[in-house]
Amino acid sequence: MARGGLIDGTREFKERFVGRTLPFLIERGWDWKRGGLIEHVGPGGGDAGTPYRRVMVHARQLYVYAIWAARTGDADLAVHADRIYSYMIERFWDHEKGGWLEMVDLDGAPSGSDKDLYAHAFALFGLGAYGRAMGRGEAGAWMERSREILEIRFKRPDGSYSDRMSRDFEDLASDRRSQNPHMHLLEAALSNGEGGGSTTYRDLAERLLALFQRGFHAPGENLVLEYLDDRFEPHPVDGHRVEPGHHFEWAWLLDWSSRLLAKDVHREMAAPILERGLSTGWDRRQAGIFDEIDRNTGAVLLSTKRIWPLLELIKALLVFPDASTTIDATRALDLLLERYLAEDGTWVERFNADWTAVDTRMPSSTPYHLSMALTELERLAV
């Protein structure tokens, strides 16, 4: 790994993201008339017209602005974090029945009453980061409410959590076990479990890791399975679909789990998962990471290349620098800066296999992935 190149690339990444993306999104990614984060920002910086707002996006950006406000001392970032927090509590919490509403309309009124695991995981993650980074003690009460809803309402007898609930907490996905929201709940548990204190979140992390080993990990193939049925077998409809990006994300989370919980077994599982994700997902002809692969045949199901798998690969390669002879963190970072993240802080979300842009909109959920990758680069490369 060319360490000097990695340091220089990290510096450029930070200048683009912290110096340009974050101010750009304050100005153009917030609805200054009605309040709330704009779901997609257009290529010219305007609202791309998505007719709803999601709590997941607010929770992700709450984390982003809170931690970078704390790291830089930038008052504008801190004010924006407080702004996001206030909107999130006011508009997305179901003050009658509890839990987080998945989405609201552009005026902040509920546009659907469903409550999903993915959103609750990010609420727990974002609130924790906000409370710790900015010293906002009131966030702790909302974290506890969120955790109680997860344990009392979402948790199933088999140890999994429902993907989707009705407003009255009826399980709307009883025949499905989805990997992705459980993975992000683990991330929230690890984040909130650092720093000692209560073992509540470390215990949650232990349970989620056991669930991963029980069903979402296919050890003989070193695969991360996306969709299971209620018997923890690959789902009959889409159990064949796997995402290389989630292999990178799990490799990194397993390393974090090993460090936090002091269990070598988690790190031992991680490197083969990373290597399998690269062997199936890396485009050897034109570089980049395919979005989706067929587990059974190895065929590419989605040949598009989103930005987030590359960001997750950067994180994984930093903690497993010898995992690949094909690509290292420096090359992955170079690809990010050459293809995806422009000098002005805007980005391309998705390319075709031949590097033609698929969609010129910028999802407001993506800065979370950018921030996580930059954080890991600063931790390990600078």
CATH number of the domain enclosing 16? 1.50.10.10
Please, what sign has the CA dihedral across residues 101, 169, 214, 297? negative
Crossing angle for the helix pair 367-380 and 55-72, nearest 10 degrees? Answer: 30
Domain count, the chain: 1
Closest by CA position to 180, among listed 166, 163, 167: 163
357 forms beta bridges with 351
Cα separations in angstroms, 192 against 48, 62, 121, 204, 302 = 34, 15, 11, 10, 34
The tens place of each residue's pLDDT in the chain, 382 residues long, gives 344 599 999 999 999 999 999 999 999 999 999 999 999 999 989 999 999 999 999 999 999 999 999 999 999 999 999 999 999 999 999 999 999 999 999 999 998 779 999 999 999 999 999 999 999 999 999 999 999 999 999 999 999 999 999 999 999 999 999 999 999 999 999 999 996 667 999 999 999 999 999 999 999 999 999 999 999 999 999 999 999 999 999 999 999 999 999 999 999 999 999 999 999 999 999 999 999 999 999 999 999 999 999 999 999 999 999 988 789 999 999 999 999 999 999 999 999 999 999 989 999 999 999 999 999 999 998 7
3-class secondary structure per residue, the chain = CCHHHHHHHHHHHHHHHHHHHHHHHHHHCECCCCCCECCEECCCCCECCCCCEEHHHHHHHHHHHHHHHHHHCCHHHHHHHHHHHHHHHHHHECCCCCCECCEECCCCCECCCCEEHHHHHHHHHHHHHHHHHHCCCCHHHHHHHHHHHHHHHHECCCCCECCEECCCCCECCCCCEEHHHHHHHHHHHHHHHCCCCCCHHHHHHHHHHHHHHHHHEECCCCEECCEECCCCCECCCCCCEECHHHHHHHHHHHHHHHHHHCCHHHHHHHHHHHHHHHHHHECCCCCCECCEEECCCCCEEECCEEHHHHHHHHHHHHHCCCCCCCCCHHHHHHHHHHHHECCCCCECCEECCCCCEEECCEECCCHHHHHHHHHHHHHHCC
Q: How far apart are CA 299 and CA 292, in angstroms?
A: 9
Q: Are the CB atoms for 177 and 160 separated by under 8 Å?
A: yes
Q: Which domain holds residue 145?
A: 3-380
162 forms beta bridges with none
Question: Which residue is it, tokens 């960001």?
Answer: 311
Q: How far apart are CA 238 and CA 161, in angstroms?
A: 19
